[in-house]
Chain A
């Protein structure tokens, strides 16, 4: 890299100390980075890598005194930020350095209007009259492409959509043309189509303003989409940094290589002749409408149609993907099929028996044939139970001898590649991926005919995600499992599913073999979805590790 101009932000040997009793003494050990004007620097790392804390250090917003800067320098436009008083920092924040946060819902004050919150920045730093400020704020809303900026100005955050909220955040951050914008996972909470729009917006505005952007993310797809320069963090240490193209396509450090190798590519497996096998799960004409509970003043609210007339068939040994964005009804499908929710109409046949027509007693018996793996590895295991009991619970309920069930649970732990020594621990003593393995073991303990997996890897870091997906693939192969796989992530779907169903607003817009859908999407929505996959033009260079 050549030094053309002095960077806006220079971080030298930054070290951040964690409170006593944490798993390591320093959250960040010797971070060095430069951000130049007009450059987007991506800081990539898995959870716990210290990437968010470095942003906090630059803004001087660390949760002191628990977490403190232990050493190093942060220079912004030639000034030493660490030496500044709080009052001086306050003048910088929001003005010359601004920040965009991850969760647009919680990052905006629910009690103030959008306009008020944008106006606050202007009031604090611009010193103009109210009219002027309002005009400026509306102008900013226009620039972030919010439809009808005047009415958005008076709206409360809960009255606009998630994507619009993030646009408001961006408008707020860029309102005073800062020199440096720090974006902390700004698109992680958004749907894929919205994500692409926001990334584009950031990129465009940054080009216009010429600001430097420090962009924090965990997603290599996003990196590929947006980065000029990449820094890879692991456990508080920089393992690799360099221009985007170089790091993405020719990573040097084994960790980077492994991370990149974990990113599922967009090449679906060749399709197997699954449709000829016997059907194990068949949904017919499923429909579910949520009659929302009454609001405070309004009494009844409009009912929401979650699933509209859904039919599908799952064959023996097949993996059927249900793909869609939030609000598409895909999660409702997983609950209807397992009858955790009662459908308004339709039938779910498991091996020819209609689950929805069962009496409560019959239903309890039927449940062992259709098991589920849940999304949130934190929430899906009872925190007050030991792992062995969690896994053995199902068989015991269905009359298995408790001792035998526990012995079987230990075997299953081995099957999901966990040490049986872990059997007597509680869920919180495991990592997210391990918990998801326990969840899989619990489902397998019942020896079900069908497993419904609801976003089983979406809460996991990319490297862990790859390992869990691999395990699922292996088990499917070994045990001839039939999987109904619900996901929002097209990369994951591409990797695992034989066939997919694409859903939008409760309706199926397209269905077919994965490879065919990916190669030649018929419906505009599917096309849009595929086009929005971040970094879709980038193919991870090599697969040195053993991901499937």
Chain B
């Protein structure tokens, strides 16, 4: 007999195999798409420098390999990618992997805090509103949710910055840490946290409203189901119903959404990172588009695909853990 492989591993391998064509599709698509854009990174560079002469421009283009036919460039890129070599960033003149790793921490921190805040608060408020459906509290929460949803994040960011930084002076305007503050240990943590308050709020509110609304309808739907009636007929009180019977079932759609939202969040962080000068991947992506920094943008998208696929894998596992109907082996 074959040695038994843990089912989790088989599952992970199977998912990996499914993910590879998607990633290849994404990478080739993005490459060709970017090549359709007018101008290249040398144009952007020359624009940044305030001009250059023709020979200089031609030499740079050859240096970056941009004088080759597109198919040659694509082939070279994909071959390198196959060995996980993301190439060098034209703009940062560093290996793309280094550039990305510099930014990844900030972005992950921002996304993790935003998503977990949005998730936990949204779910709590949504469940609360659902249990008091159509009451004053519900209306208040639902209205708040709608306003969070309808307010553009950049508008919110500017308003918060005006209030909390300029008028009240409570929070720093931007950045990830106090530069030349040289904080260490706990002070550093507090410092970073203070810098993240506003960006996190600006980024999470719209997602908070998503979870709030989803959870509200999900709880109301589950509360109508037969097994809740059964529990009631057993003499269970409202708290018990909520904790043991409704929440776990109502959480399932929210968990699914969690996985799907990860990449949207990265897009949403472009604007917020730009306003708050956070050195994250969102801003980097935007800059890379504008500067036609092919390798960096491709690297971001590659990294993002991997993160998204990983997050989806983890949410699936979480889902399977939460939903006993899905068998683990």
**Bound pair: A and B?**
yes
Residues B324 and A111 in contact, CB atoms below 8 Å apart:
yes
- Cα A90 to Cα B237 in complex, Å, equals 7
Q: Does A295 contact B (CB under 8 A)?
A: yes
Residues B230 and A108 in contact, CB atoms below 8 Å apart:
yes
Contacts A108-B227, A298-B7 given; does A94 touch B324 at CB 8 Å:
no
How would residues 467 to 505 of chain A score, 1 for a CB under 8 Å from any chain B CB and 0 otherwise? 000000000000000000000000000000000000000
Residues A298 and B329 in contact, CB atoms below 8 Å apart:
yes
Closest chain-A Cβ to B230's Cβ sits at a distance in Å of: 5
Q: Which residues of A contact B7 (CB under 8 A)?
A: 297-298
Q: Does B14 contact A (CB under 8 A)?
A: yes
Closest chain-B Cβ to A482's Cβ sits at a distance in Å of: 42
Closest chain-A Cβ to B254's Cβ sits at a distance in Å of: 15
Contacts A298-B7, A299-B14 given; does A101 touch B229 at CB 8 Å:
yes
- A117-125, A202-210, A357-365: which lies at the B interface? A117-125
Residues A297 and B8 in contact, CB atoms below 8 Å apart:
yes
Residues A124 and B328 in contact, CB atoms below 8 Å apart:
no
- Cα A296 to Cα B329 in complex, Å, equals 8
Residues A93 and B325 in contact, CB atoms below 8 Å apart:
no
Q: Does A156 contact B (CB under 8 A)?
A: yes
Contacts A90-B236, A297-B11 given; does A61 touch B325 at CB 8 Å:
no
Residues B316 and A61 in contact, CB atoms below 8 Å apart:
no
Residues A297 and B320 in contact, CB atoms below 8 Å apart:
yes
Q: Which residues of A contact B225 (CB under 8 A)?
A: 106
Residues A296 and B10 in contact, CB atoms below 8 Å apart:
no
Residues B234 and A156 in contact, CB atoms below 8 Å apart:
no
Contacts A61-B229, A112-B244 given; does A94 touch B327 at CB 8 Å:
no
Closest chain-A Cβ to B224's Cβ sits at a distance in Å of: 9
Q: Does A34 contact B (CB under 8 A)?
A: no
Residues A172 and B234 in contact, CB atoms below 8 Å apart:
yes
Contacts A111-B249, A299-B14 given; does A125 touch B235 at CB 8 Å:
yes
- Cα A99 to Cα B229 in complex, Å, equals 10
Q: Does A158 contact B (CB under 8 A)?
A: yes
Residues B227 and A120 in contact, CB atoms below 8 Å apart:
no
Main SS class of interface, B: helix
Contacts A95-B235, A172-B234 given; does A111 touch B323 at CB 8 Å:
yes
Interface centre among B10, B235, B240, B245 (most CB of A within 10 A): B235
- Cα A76 to Cα B235 in complex, Å, equals 16
Which residue of the partner chain B has the closest CB to A106? B226
Which residue of the partner chain B has the closest CB to A103? B226
Q: Which residues of B contact A107 (CB under 8 A)?
A: 226-227, 229-230
Which residue of the partner chain B has the closest CB to A118? B234
Q: Which residues of B contact A121 (CB under 8 A)?
A: 234-235
Identify which of B8, B233, B235, B245 contacts A91 (C-beta below 8 A).
B235
Q: Does B33 contact A (CB under 8 A)?
A: no
Which residue of the partner chain A has the closest CB to B328? A297
Which residue of the partner chain B has the closest CB to A125? B235
Q: Does A289 contact B (CB under 8 A)?
A: no
Identify which of A101, A106, A298 contacts B327 (C-beta below 8 A).
A298
Interface centre among B231, B240, B329 (most CB of A within 10 A): B231
Q: Does A445 contact B (CB under 8 A)?
A: no
- Cα A305 to Cα B310 in complex, Å, equals 37
Identify which of B232, B240, B326 contacts A296 (C-beta below 8 A).
B326
Q: Does B76 contact A (CB under 8 A)?
A: no
Q: Does A92 contact B (CB under 8 A)?
A: yes
Q: Does A98 contact B (CB under 8 A)?
A: yes
Interface residues on B, range: 20 to 34
Which residue of the partner chain B has the closest CB to A56? B229
Q: Does A109 contact B (CB under 8 A)?
A: yes
Which residue of the partner chain A has the closest CB to B225? A106
Which residue of the partner chain B has the closest CB to A102? B226
How would residues 90 to 115 of chain B score, 1 for a CB under 8 Å from any chain A CB and 0 otherwise? 00000000000000000000000000
- Cα A113 to Cα B248 in complex, Å, equals 13
- Cα A158 to Cα B327 in complex, Å, equals 10
Closest chain-B Cβ to A84's Cβ sits at a distance in Å of: 12
Q: Which residues of B contact A71 (CB under 8 A)?
A: none
Q: Does A59 contact B (CB under 8 A)?
A: yes
Q: Does B322 contact A (CB under 8 A)?
A: yes
Residues B327 and A92 in contact, CB atoms below 8 Å apart:
no
- Cα A331 to Cα B132 in complex, Å, equals 45
How would residues 219 to 251 of chain A score, 1 for a CB under 8 Å from any chain B CB and 0 otherwise? 000000000000000000000000000000000
Contacts A109-B245, A297-B10 given; does A156 touch B231 at CB 8 Å:
no
Residues B233 and A98 in contact, CB atoms below 8 Å apart:
yes
Identify which of B231, B244, B324 contacts A110 (C-beta below 8 A).
B324
Q: Which residues of A contact B325 (CB under 8 A)?
A: 110, 156, 158
Identify which of B14, B233, B248 contacts A99 (C-beta below 8 A).
B233
- Cα A124 to Cα B241 in complex, Å, equals 12
Q: Which residues of A contact B236 (CB under 8 A)?
A: 90, 94, 120, 124
Residues B234 and A93 in contact, CB atoms below 8 Å apart:
yes
Residues B249 and A109 in contact, CB atoms below 8 Å apart:
yes
Which residues 69-104 of A have a CB within 8 angstroms of B? 90-95, 98-99, 101, 103
Q: Which residues of A contact B248 (CB under 8 A)?
A: 111
Which residues 229-266 of B have a CB within 8 angstroms of A? 229-237, 240, 244-245, 248-249
Interface centre among B226, B245, B248 (most CB of A within 10 A): B226
Q: Which residues of A contact B233 (CB under 8 A)?
A: 59, 61, 93-94, 98-99, 101
Which residue of the partner chain A has the closest CB to B249? A111
Interface centre among A103, A109, A124, A298 (most CB of B within 10 A): A109
Residues B316 and A296 in contact, CB atoms below 8 Å apart:
yes
Contacts A106-B227, A107-B226, A296-B326 given; does A92 touch B234 at CB 8 Å:
no
- Cα A92 to Cα B233 in complex, Å, equals 9
Q: Which residues of B contact A103 (CB under 8 A)?
A: 226
- Cα A120 to Cα B323 in complex, Å, equals 19
23 CB < 8 A contacts A-B = A61-B229, A61-B232, A90-B236, A93-B232, A95-B235, A98-B234, A101-B233, A109-B230, A109-B231, A109-B244, A110-B227, A110-B324, A112-B244, A120-B231, A120-B234, A120-B244, A124-B236, A172-B234, A295-B326, A296-B320, A296-B328, A297-B11, A298-B327
Query: Which 3 interchain pairs have the tightest Cβ spacing?
Result: A94-B234, A93-B235, A94-B235
Supplied contacts A91-B235, A93-B233, A298-B7, 13 more A-B pairs, CB within 8 Å: A61-B233, A94-B235, A95-B235, A99-B230, A111-B324, A112-B324, A120-B244, A124-B234, A295-B327, A296-B326, A297-B8, A297-B11, A298-B327
